[in-house]
Amino acid sequence: MKNFKTVYLFSAILSFILTAGYTTARAQDVPDVGPHPAGKPVEMESHIGNLTGHSEAAKLPYRRYCAGCHGDLGDGQGENTPWLDPKPRNFTLATFKCRSTPTGTLPLDSDLYNSVGRGFTNSNMPIWNALSNQDRANLVAIIKTFSPRWQKEKAGDPIKVPSEPPVTIESISHGKALFTKLECWKCHGPEGKGDGPSASTLTDSQDNPIRPYNFAAGTNDSRFKCGSTNEDIYKIFMTGVDGTPMPSFADTIQPNDAWDLVHFLRVLQVHRHGKENDVLKAAGGNIPPYVEKQAEAPSSQPEVRAAGGGK
Among residues 3 and 301, whose Cβ is nearest to another protein? 3
Among residues 34 and 288, whose Cβ is nearest to another protein? 34
Smallest gap from residue 69 Cβ to another protein (A): 6
Smallest gap from residue 130 Cβ to another protein (A): 4
Smallest gap from residue 139 Cβ to another protein (A): 12
Among residues 21 and 104, whose Cβ is nearest to another protein? 21
Among residues 122 and 168, whose Cβ is nearest to another protein? 122
Smallest gap from residue 137 Cβ to another protein (A): 10
Chain positions contacting another protein, by CB under 8 A: 1-2, 5-6, 10, 12-14, 16-25, 27-29, 32-33, 57, 60-61, 63-65, 67-69, 72, 79-80, 83-84, 119-135, 218, 220-221
- The three-state DSSP-derived secondary structure of the chain is CHHHHHHHHHHHHHHHHHHHHHHHHHHCCCCCCCCCCCCCCCCCEEEECCEEEECHHHHHHHHHHHHHHHCCCCCCCCCCHHHCCCCCCCHHHCCCCCCCCCCCCECCHHHHHHHHHHCCCCCCCCCCCCCCHHHHHHHHHHHCCCCCHHHHCCECCCCEEECCCCCCHHHHHHHHHHHHHCCCHHHHCCCCCCCCCCHHHCECCCCCECCCCCCCCCCCCCCECCECCHHHHHHHHHHCCCCCCCCCCCCCCCHHHHHHHHHHHHHHCCCCCCHHHHHHHHCCCCCCCCCCCCCCCCCCCCCEEECCCCC
Smallest gap from residue 127 Cβ to another protein (A): 6
Among residues 37 and 165, whose Cβ is nearest to another protein? 37
